[in-house]
Amino acid sequence: MFRIFGKSRSEALNDHRMGRYLRYAIGEILLVVVGILIALQIDNWNDDREEAATLDSYLHSIARNLQSDIEELEELREKRQENLLTRTRVQTLLRKSTPYDVNDVFFFNRSIYFARQTLHFIPDTSGYEALKNSGVLDRLQGQDIERLLSDYYNVVGNTQHLESEFNELIKPFGIQFDLSTLKNVEDFAFGDPVALSPERFQELQPYYREVIRGSSAVMLFNAQYSSYLILQEYENAIALGRAFVQMVGAGRSNFGSQENILPGYAGDARKIGKAELVVNGAISFDTYGFWFTSSNDNGQEFKPDSIRRTDDALHILYPGGEPDPLHESWAAIWFSVMEPDPGRPSRDFSMYDTLQLELKGELGGESILVNMKDKDDPDDGTQANVELVLTDQWQTYEIELARFENADLSVLSVVTGFLFLDQFEPVSFQIRNARFIKQADR
């Protein structure tokens, strides 16, 4: 082609036709420019493709880091949930008026050991740091995946801050507990009480009572309450991390218009009632507390083994009350909203219409009364109760929330309670799952 332009240019010059020459000259220039532009475009396209491949490699590396983080967070969540359940179980020892037995001492010693442990979340940030230093991070700007990543590491930072504060909070109580046990007793009095003679074990009852009810132990267990804030951040980090891993796996960088990666995360989640109360026997301690009491001196008949989690179920044993000719015998076990509220903390459950409970009786035929209370309901027994009769097989029970006619669902405080009235025989049952649902969304 250049030879054709060259011949035409020569003819134009020989014939002294300057206009024709200029046209052919411009054509040559345009052809060169177009060639250069095409070459640059190809080069840019190659660079863009290489940067996209590099970015994708970094994102997959971060996704692997986050998957590892999620597994660590789930393990930490399990430990903190167990400590909070233990906090509830330890209350039975604080209320006990009869002598402690060997199992009580074993349980307390084990509980102290785990309550004093300082737990730390250590995220794997290698992929994220490499991405920040790569020069391709700007390619994510304005996309959902960028916000997701930023939110995740913001939550991680807040999680580590809360953990540090909590660990500093419990550290003095652990030291004080060490000092409080320096008595003239056997070193194994708590660690191995079965090694003591029965007579010696009874002699040490005042010592056991002093330590178990001592201020250091009480403050150490009460401090566990504040760890629910850490659990909330664990839940946020897990939800964000899973969303990121799924997005990278799907090769996407933006969410669909109807997707919601973390309900309530962008707004004020504390106002909205969390659907899950119990999942495979684990209480959602990031949102709910678990409590018990009774007419028998504030629940004195309960023991540490009255409330425990084994396998995938929460086991509850009410040992039965003592007949009283003058007063009604009763006991209550309940889940309530756990928030730093000087009054009675509550959340809005008006978006749900059904309470779904997966329950199993120990023998079958157990009768339990289910109830709810809003933040203004009095504790005088006037709440609406719904009776359930259990079988010895797992059954799913669905109760319409409208049946709890006294409870204002928009400010629910006791989100689910179990009541026992004039029940003088033991009642044992298990909870596998408990959650709120909306029938129209099923």
pLDDT at 17: 55
User: What is the separation, in whole angstroms, between the first and last Cα of the chain?
Assistant: 70
Residue 97: count of CB within 10 angstroms of its CB: 7
Q: Listing from the earlier edge strand, what are the strands of the sheet with 385-389?
A: 288-294, 330-337, 412-421, 367-374, 385-389
Contacts for 214-220: CB closer than 8 Å, 24+ residues apart: 214/177, 214/180, 215/176, 216/173, 216/176, 216/177, 216/179, 216/180, 217/108, 217/112, 217/173, 217/177, 217/180, 218/94, 219/173, 220/112, 220/115, 220/116, 220/170, 220/173, 220/174, 220/177
Q: What's the CA gap between 344 and 413, in Å, rounded? A: 7
Phi-psi region of 393 (alpha: psi -120 to 50; beta: other; left: phi over 0): beta
Q: Give the integer Cα–Cα distance in Å for 210 and 118.
A: 25
Q: Which residues are paired to 40 by β-bridges?
A: none
The SS3 assignment for 293 reads: strand
Write out the H or E segment, with its range, that includes residue 75: helix 18-95
Q: What tens-digit pLDDT sequence spans the chain (442 residues)?
A: 445 445 555 555 555 555 665 666 676 677 666 667 665 665 555 556 666 788 889 999 999 999 999 999 999 999 999 999 999 999 999 988 899 999 999 999 999 999 999 999 999 999 999 998 988 888 888 899 999 999 999 999 999 999 999 999 998 887 666 656 667 788 889 889 999 999 999 999 999 999 999 888 999 999 999 999 999 999 999 999 999 999 999 998 888 755 555 544 433 455 889 999 999 999 999 999 999 999 887 778 899 999 999 889 999 999 988 887 778 889 999 999 988 766 789 999 999 999 999 999 999 999 999 999 999 999 888 999 999 999 999 999 999 999 999 999 999 999 999 999 998 899 999 999 999 999 877 6
| pLDDT attached to residue 264 | 42
pLDDT at 412: 96
Classify 354 in phi/psi space as left (phi over 0), alpha (psi -120 to 50) or beta: beta
